[in-house]
Amino acid sequence: MTDILFYCGINECQWNHHPVNTGPYAVVSPVYGTKVKENRVAVPDNAAVMQDSGAFCDGPEDRLDYAAALRRQLEHSDKWGYSDKWGYSDKIIYRASYDLLIDETWDGQGNREKRRWTESAANEAVEITVNAARYMRDNYDGPCVLSAQGVTARQYLECVRRVISIMDLSRDILGFGGWCIIGKMPRAMMPVLRDTIDLVIPYAAKQGVKKIHIWGVIYPKALGPLLRACDDYGIQLSTDSAGPQMKPCMGSWGYGEWRNNHYEVADPAIRGLERARHVELTRQWLSAFRRTKYYVQKPNVQPRLFEVSA
């Protein structure tokens, strides 16, 4: 079994004059950027798609109602396609709920800062996120990624409780939202993630969750303890990012122990091929993540009393 399943983000129709080559799994959002522009994409023929909701791009003034958010997903998958075929709807294996992210703040003028909300402010985000999961499950017939949010471990657990009660456990994925900036703020966020893992993973497993997807995280120090906990409780872990296909364009290569700080941007003639190679190497690294130094080798400690009663 693959250690961590990787979905590569797509936000282009070509990679520097070469075909988009994500490998077997891709994630597609209907929009991108703070200006909320339509995401023009070409999906590889061999890729199964997890469709994001676009919630990451929508600021307070751009938020849609749940029906409009789902309609945006459906219309996007009908419009953009692969090969000579219009639409990639037949390639979608999961659609995501329209949660409200708590890892960025907005200043009211369209500018955002990578800073997590306070716990009290995030209470509203939890309510919106739970309602989004309920709307998606009630109004879309296919498998879903139903996401949770929360600032503290306790708040996250409460959101997860409510989202799990909505899930079709035979086919849906529990989405771990709100962690995509952890690589930029590890000192502040890693302790919260560890506490969240300790509370949420045993509870989710007990309720019958079989798959968890953590949105937008390739930070190895975060993936290590999460994978360890998922292994302990028989849960398959997946993640996604557009970073692996973008990094070679910015003179950056690799993650963790295979990072190359001396990588130089390739000639335009082969840059797209380098992007595809970097995606494949990232997938291979994640698929064998238990062999890395980031995987927590020792078993987890016994759950605390308040965890058992959770």
Write the CB contacts of 201 (distance below 8 Å, at least 6 apart in sequence): 212, 226, 229, 230, 232, 233, 235
pLDDT computed for residue 61 by the predictor: 82
- Of the ranges 108-117, 163-172, 244-253, which one carries the lowest mean pLDDT score? 108-117
pLDDT computed for residue 71 by the predictor: 98
pLDDT computed for residue 237 by the predictor: 98
Mean pLDDT, rounded, of the chain: 92
Domain count, the chain: 1
User: Distance between CA 38 and CA 15 in Å, rounded?
Assistant: 18
Q: Could you report the per-residue pLDDT of 197-224, keeping only the tens digit for each?
A: 999 999 999 999 999 999 999 999 999 9
Q: Given a cut of 60, is residue 302 above it in pLDDT?
A: no
User: Distance between CA 277 and CA 272 in Å, rounded?
Assistant: 9
Mean pLDDT across 164-192? 96
pLDDT computed for residue 112 by the predictor: 60
Can you give the CATH number for the domain in which 45 is found? 3.20.20.105
Task: Give the number of other CB atoms < 10 A from CB of residue 73.
Answer: 25
Pairing, β 112-113 against β 105-106: antiparallel
- Place 32 in a pLDDT band, splitting at 50, 70 and 90: very high
Angle made by CA atoms 195, 103, 219, in degrees to the nearest 5: 65
pLDDT computed for residue 310 by the predictor: 46
What angle do helix axes 220-232 and 186-207 make, rounded to 10 degrees? 20
Mean pLDDT across 31-54? 93
Q: Given a cut of 80, is residue 28 above it in pLDDT?
A: yes
Rg (CA), the chain: 19
- Place 107 in a pLDDT band, splitting at 50, 70 and 90: low
Asked whether 122 and 155 are in contact (CB, 8 A), the reply is yes
Angle made by CA atoms 21, 26, 28, in degrees to the nearest 5: 110
Which residue range is the domain that position 218 belongs to? Answer: 4-308
User: Distance between CA 46 and CA 82 in Å, rounded?
Assistant: 10
pLDDT computed for residue 110 by the predictor: 57
pLDDT computed for residue 47 by the predictor: 97
Instruction: Tell me which long-range contacts 258-267 makes (C-beta under 8 A, separation of at least 24).
Output: 258/285
Task: Give the number of other CB atoms < 10 A from CB of residue 68.
Answer: 11
